[in-house]
Amino acid sequence: MKGLFDKTFWGLTIGLIALLILNFFLADWLRGIGLQSIARGMVALGLLVLWRTGLISFGHALFFGFGAYAAALLQRIGINDFFVILIVGTAASGLLAYGLGFLLRQYRAIYFALLNLAFSMILWGVLANLEVLGSTDGIGVRPPSYLGIELEGEANQMVLFALAIIFTYLVAVATNLYLRSTLGYMTMAVRENEIRVEYLGYSAERAIHMKYIISGLVAGFGGVVMAFAVGHVDPDSMAYWPISGDFVFITILSGSGNVAAPLIGAMVYELIRSYAFEYAPQVWQLIMGGSLLLIIMFLPDGLWSLTERFKRDKA
């Protein structure tokens, strides 16, 4: 696996080790921010893969919410193991993406974006209306157990955080590898010239379907993590349209240059949000909206493009 060890791999590995060490010293609320960053960053990672293919979804809260509610419902039927919940929640979300993908892969541009929005709002409507799922109040989520081991309070948070980081690392490395494979380069190819892809012997739609499934998987993963991070799931914070908007916000904020970008971008987003909420709660949306506009106007390739500039200046 010679292609495995590139700069991104080492960067991610260093990040992993650093975070695992920091985990022992972090204040609880910072761990909370970290978990939420991971949750959103994962969805943004999926959107990065789609964005490289030339597609944006305005409705990925669909998979995020699906994963989050899957976690809550698994707990309700008595399953409390972190690993089981994570795998089942992610897989369920991926399955949903697989099914919807047959339809979505035929759409492009704004229609793709809006069709995703429609489906996410259908989920929202269902969740908000069904009493059995808690309707607008939602469902509570307890801290999980780990292969039978029950933990309390901060110990549980530490293990949760560590595991979340490890799994995120694995997903990021895998995605990086994927993007450097032939199928990964197909993102560029489909975005640039579908006819050429077709005449080279590959189905553009099939390529899009695969990327859609990947985006669904990681978004579901993010949903599960968020459910544990916040301890609660409800339609407005998991499936409502502004949530999808926030994911796109992070994707554009971060840039699509590297798999680490959305993870870092999500952290930046989370920090801005928390500080804005803390010190200027009446204007936090003003700050968020303003930051997004600044990025769109002056840094269209996102925060990651700053690393390119830095490299260029050094050379």
Applying CB under 8 A, which residues contact another protein?
A: 2-3, 56, 58, 103, 107, 109-111, 113-115, 117-119, 121-126, 128-130, 177-178, 180-186, 188-189, 192-193, 195-203, 241-242, 245, 248-249, 252, 282-286, 288-290, 292-293, 296-297, 300
Helix (H, G, I), strand (E, B) or coil at 146: strand
Minimum distance from residue 148 beta carbon to another protein (Å): 35
Minimum distance from residue 192 beta carbon to another protein (Å): 4
Instruction: Return the number of the residue (58 or 161) whose C-beta is nearest another protein.
Output: 58
Token pair 């229609």 in the structure block, residue:
111
Distance, CA of 302 to CA of 308 (rounded, Å): 11
CA neighbor of 211 nearest in space, from 66, 95, 90, 53: 53
Burial of 234 (0-12, 13-18, 19+ CB in 10 A): buried
Instruction: Return the number of the residue (154 or 198) whose C-beta is nearest another protein.
Output: 198
Minimum distance from residue 113 beta carbon to another protein (Å): 6
In this structure, what are the phi and psi dihedrals at residue 281, rounded to the nearest 5 degrees?
A: -60, -25
User: Which amino acid, one-letter code, is at 284?
Assistant: W
Minimum distance from residue 31 beta carbon to another protein (Å): 27
Instruction: Return the number of the residue (99 or 125) whose C-beta is nearest another protein.
Output: 125
Distance, CA of 217 to CA of 94 (rounded, Å): 4
Instruction: Return the number of the residue (149 or 294) whose C-beta is nearest another protein.
Output: 294
Minimum distance from residue 297 beta carbon to another protein (Å): 7
Instruction: Return the number of the residue (245 or 257) whose C-beta is nearest another protein.
Output: 245
Distance, CA of 214 to CA of 64 (rounded, Å): 13
The answer for residues whose C-beta is within 8 angstroms of residue 289's C-beta and 6 or more apart is none
Distance, CA of 32 to CA of 160 (rounded, Å): 10
Minimum distance from residue 272 beta carbon to another protein (Å): 12
Distance, CA of 72 to CA of 224 (rounded, Å): 8
Instruction: Return the number of the residue (94 or 144) whose C-beta is nearest another protein.
Output: 94
Instruction: End-to-end CA distance of the chain: give it in Å, rounded.
Output: 30
Minimum distance from residue 126 beta carbon to another protein (Å): 6
Distance, CA of 216 to CA of 176 (rounded, Å): 17
Instruction: Return the number of the residue (108 or 163) whose C-beta is nearest another protein.
Output: 108
Distance, CA of 85 to CA of 68 (rounded, Å): 10
